C-alpha cells in the first residue's frame, strides 16, 4: 500500500506534477534550514506574522477567512520542511528569545 501523501505535497503534485513537486519541496528545504539560526528566526517570524500561534477566529467573518489563509500559508511552509505543529514549542521558545 502506498504511503499517504500529505495535503501540501498532494497539492504540489496536482499543480506541478510529481517531478516538479519534488524539486519544489527540495527548494524549500535548501533555503530554510529549521535547525540553523537563520531558518529558526525566519520560521519564528512567519509563525508570528501568520498568526499560527493564535486562533483565526475574529468577530468579522472576512477577517476570520483572512487569518485562516495566513495560517494555511505557514502550515504549507512547515509541511514542505517536514515539520509539524508538534515542533511549535521549540519555535515558540525561539520567538520568545527573539522578543526578549
pLDDT given for residue 96 in this prediction: 61
What are the extents of the domains in the chain? Answer: 32-99
pTM: 0.79
pLDDT given for residue 91 in this prediction: 66
CA 16 to chain centre: 19
pLDDT means over runs of 10, the chain (100 residues):
61 89 91 92 92 94 96 92 77 60
Q: Tell me the C-alpha distance between 90 and 44, whole Å.
A: 9
| Vertex 10: Cα angle to 13 and 74 (nearest 5) | 110
Amino acid at each position: 500500500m502506498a504511503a499517504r501523501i500529505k495535503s501540501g505535497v498532494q497539492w504540489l503534485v496536482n499543480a506541478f506534477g510529481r517531478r516538479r513537486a519534488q524539486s519544489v519541496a527540495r527548494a524549500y528545504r535548501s533555503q530554510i534550514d529549521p535547525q540553523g539560526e537563520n531558518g529558526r528566526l525566519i520560521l519564528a517570524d512567519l509563525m508570528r506574522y501568520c498568526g499560527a500561534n493564535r486562533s483565526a477566529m475574529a468577530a468579522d467573518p472576512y477577517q476570520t477567512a483572512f487569518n485562516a489563509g495566513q495560517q494555511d500559508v505557514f502550515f504549507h511552509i512547515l509541511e514542505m520542511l517536514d515539520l509539524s505543529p508538534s515542533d511549535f514549542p521549540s519555535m515558540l521558545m525561539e520567538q520568545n528569545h527573539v522578543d526578549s
